[in-house]
Structure 1
């Protein structure tokens, strides 16, 4: 089953949810159901089993939580739970429990998360007092079943959330053992981001005539940037730490996760990134739960902005301020890639997924593209010239912010005393130079060698010397002038977008276009002086990736 466009106007009230749930949703600011909620809630309310494929961030927690709460009777009265939600990690158990509390606050629902690393005595007391919904990791659920403290005879619904993750983590036997303890007439719901054969097998054994739903990420409207911008950089292994630093310096993420394969690599890379000035934290399976909690607290509290982690350690994490996911190595399977990038681009927010690939890994990138049916654009690693331009951009932004604030008057005497001897422009230039040098910046590193291959050229769009990415950092040629274009990286603009617009509208060839620089909010592009006015007129009359932009000569450029 796929979403029906005609159902886009469906409201939560149309789904016949009880008034207490509608009040809670309204109070949380939820106006209309997401596609997976529109498709899943009606059959779940009807008692059907369901097999759903949905990426993280599509709203699947509410898709199963609301029907579970809707169908509950005698809330707060039963000693045994009537719903069991199995999840792969402690973090996800807490998140799902909090969601049940939010949605069921007016119903008085009793929800208990049970997982390893928490004192079992607290869980035992809560179970003895009676709960309506248990959200559990498979290992700890099985432990309580063996103790006789978690009794499942009254269960009406079992939900397997992130089922592929649970199987990947080795919980297959635990899940089978738990399901054996549940009533045969239960409702069974299975959600998974991917559908490998093992999931199909699990569904055939335990679901009865299930409704099947497949929901992808919500597609952007024509002309809009995708919610997750996916790109890759081909980098020799020895240059990966420097390449990562440069990419992050250019991207300037609010918060990012960098995925590594081993614990040793996590520790080593976290130390390297701290040396580059990032507030990096390591997260891997060799850490205690207390250490993990401290790391997550620092990340969520804003005292850390970079998390370097292994896959296992980062499973189930939901970090609201996360903007970037970086694959320090190409994932070994497309399913891992899907799970990693599913952590950004959530709830309508834009996100960025970056992969650093060694030359031998570029074919795996093509496999991921084919399986996910999504384009991964191969970019050029930022050059030293790019880093210098970025540093100048930061200096300019800092000066602009200072000009907009008060408190400048006390420096007037310095400027006035120098103005008798120097031109005001020279004074300003000297002040900018001091401010620029005071900001520090990236170390004066060697250039990172470019990695070329037939596959990388193919992934860039079949162009070689015509691709404008390879012109960044070169010196300007004589007879060229630089144009300011008022859209940049935040609008999803890439060098090839500007090249395509200029070629299509102004009739220049690719070889006539010079240096291109992409900043956050604007871009600079060099064109022949003789064609500058025609290019300006053509771009003003058209759109770039569906957006109209201010186009003019760069101030201070050739006239």
Structure 2
């Protein structure tokens, strides 16, 4: 059964919710349900299983939290939980638990979040006293089940929230083990932002005749701007730190979340941005819970305004004043892009999603644009002149705000004294100059080369790693800046593909796949671009190894300009 219609006249009172929940929603300022709440709540109150596809920020937490609270036993509460909510991260566990507390205050709901990084003794004592709803990460839930401290016999509802993220994080086996411990007659609810095949496998195995709901993010009417403005800039790898700084300066975000691929990249970029005068914090899986909590505290209280993070570390985050998400690299999967931009544009707020694209990544960006059915505009990198104009505009806006709101009388004596010697316009110009310079608007003189994208000729999805047609590569072409070309004595006749060469180099040397540039394959040899500084290391590493099971010659290309 699939539901995808909505009735805009429906209010919370029409959904069958009890008076305690209606009072709580009214007190919180909730006036009418969102589409996912209108669709899900009646079915869940009837006891139906449900499979819901809803993006972050559509109100799905209340869609399952309100029925969970309403279906708690009306009489005396027992010690064992009647509902279990599984979530991918500690941060989301806390958010869902807080929401359940707010909605269920008048019902006296006992809600307990359990997750790694928190002293287990505190969780054990709370479970011993008795709880109604447990909100848990899969690993810690399984730990408690193994200890016998999380009884499952009384469970009436099990909710999998952000199920696709839990699968991406490797929790598939844990989820299966947990569900096998729950009563067969339980009500099972699964919410996911995307619906990969693995989600449907879980649904077929564990949901009984589920109601299926698909709620998309609100799309703007023709002529209206979308809530999340999506854009991209094509930037050479060597200039990406400067390009990120340029874009941040022009955009002037209230708070921004920058996604990187690896922990090392997070740490390096955080250090670079702080050296450039930004207030950046790192967040990745190599940090313990105490460190993560300190970082999030600084973001939420405004001490920091840039969070540099990996995908795994940033899952489940909800930073209310977040205005920008930046992909420092093009995400490797459409689902990752969807989850990342879901951090902004929530609850009707506007947001901006920006992607820095290396020339060889632009094909993946086009794939993401087609898959999401959203226009990702490739824009021209702001020039130094654009940046200076933007900084002056920010200074002007700050001065205007001060003129309108501040009490400036205490400075009148300074101006009157100077006016005896200088023209008032000159005094104003000097004051603006000092205000502008004190704002940290240092000159940015680094030129970022403009890249013009050529028509795509790639056959294998690797951006500008082209396999040439005809008899062989164009050997007269110079390598890209900072790169050198290696000759590898194996080619198309040995069925070598670009991914084989990337795998061999990345597997034997210290380079990663993204460090490798253009690859051109001829019948009997191939040419591979690698960073000049790493060329000798790559040659030495490949000297004793094989490609496609064959030993081969690897040396610098004998390049001759034509």
- What is the TM-score when the length of structure 1 is the normalising length? 0.78
Instruction: Kindly report which structure 2 residues correspond to 1:122-521, keeping only aligned pairs within 5 A, or say none.
Output: 122-404=122-404, 405=406, 406-407=408-409, 408-419=411-422, 422=423, 424-454=424-454
Change (3 A) 1:114 1:436: closer
8 Å contact kept, 1:76–1:108? no
Residue-by-residue CA offset, 1:181-224 (whole Å, 9 max, x unaligned):
11111110000001001111111110111111111112234443
Measured in 1, the distance between the counterparts of 2:309 and 2:168 equals: 17
8 Å contact kept, 1:280–1:305? yes
8 Å contact kept, 1:88–1:137? yes
Measured in 1, the distance between the counterparts of 2:400 and 2:90 equals: 45
Measured in 1, the distance between the counterparts of 2:139 and 2:437 equals: 55
Partner SS for 2:84: strand
Report the CA distance between 1:77 and its aligned residue. 1.6
Report the CA distance between 1:453 and its aligned residue. 1.1
Report the CA distance between 1:75 and its aligned residue. 5.9
Residue-by-residue CA offset, 1:294-328 (whole Å, 9 max, x unaligned):
00011111101000011111111111111111100
Measured in 2, the distance between the counterparts of 1:212 and 1:3 equals: 8
Partner SS for 2:292: helix
Measured in 1, the distance between the counterparts of 2:427 and 2:443 equals: 28
Task: Name the structure 2 match of 1:530.
Answer: none
Task: Name the structure 2 match of 1:37.
Answer: 37
Measured in 2, the distance between the counterparts of 1:274 and 1:75 equals: 56
Partner SS for 1:254: coil
Measured in 2, the distance between the counterparts of 1:148 and 1:229 equals: 49
Q: What stretches of structure 2 of length at least 5 have no aligned partner?
A: 457-562
Report the CA distance between 1:438 and its aligned residue. 4.3
Report the CA distance between 1:279 and its aligned residue. 0.8
Report the CA distance between 1:447 and its aligned residue. 1.6
Residue-by-residue CA offset, 1:338-373 (whole Å, 9 max, x unaligned):
011101000110011110010000010111111111
Partner SS for 1:106: helix
Measured in 1, the distance between the counterparts of 2:10 and 2:140 equals: 39
Measured in 2, the distance between the counterparts of 1:455 and 1:14 equals: 55
Task: Name the structure 1 match of 2:14.
Answer: 14
Measured in 1, the distance between the counterparts of 2:136 and 2:435 equals: 54
Report the CA distance between 1:394 and its aligned residue. 2.2
Whether 1:89 aligns to 2:89 is: yes
Change (3 A) 1:249 1:2: farther
Report the CA distance between 1:388 and its aligned residue. 1.0
8 Å contact kept, 1:75–1:132? no
Task: Name the structure 2 match of 1:460.
Answer: none
- What is the TM-score when the length of structure 2 is the normalising length? 0.78
Measured in 2, the distance between the counterparts of 1:179 and 1:436 equals: 60
Change (3 A) 1:142 1:434: closer
Change (3 A) 1:278 1:76: farther
Task: Name the structure 2 match of 1:533.
Answer: none
Change (3 A) 1:4 1:180: same
Report the CA distance between 1:415 and its aligned residue. 4.1
Change (3 A) 1:77 1:370: same
Partner SS for 1:287: coil
Measured in 2, the distance between the counterparts of 1:391 and 1:428 equals: 18
Partner SS for 1:94: helix
Partner SS for 2:231: strand
Change (3 A) 1:293 1:362: same
Task: Name the structure 1 match of 2:503.
Answer: none
Partner SS for 1:320: coil
Change (3 A) 1:75 1:263: farther
8 Å contact kept, 2:267–2:282? yes
Residue-by-residue CA offset, 1:10-63 (whole Å, 9 max, x unaligned):
100011110000000000000000000001111111111110001000000000
Report the CA distance between 1:440 and its aligned residue. 4.2
8 Å contact kept, 1:163–1:190? yes
For the aligned residue pairs, the C-alpha RMSD in angstroms reads 1.6
Measured in 2, the distance between the counterparts of 1:183 and 1:440 equals: 61
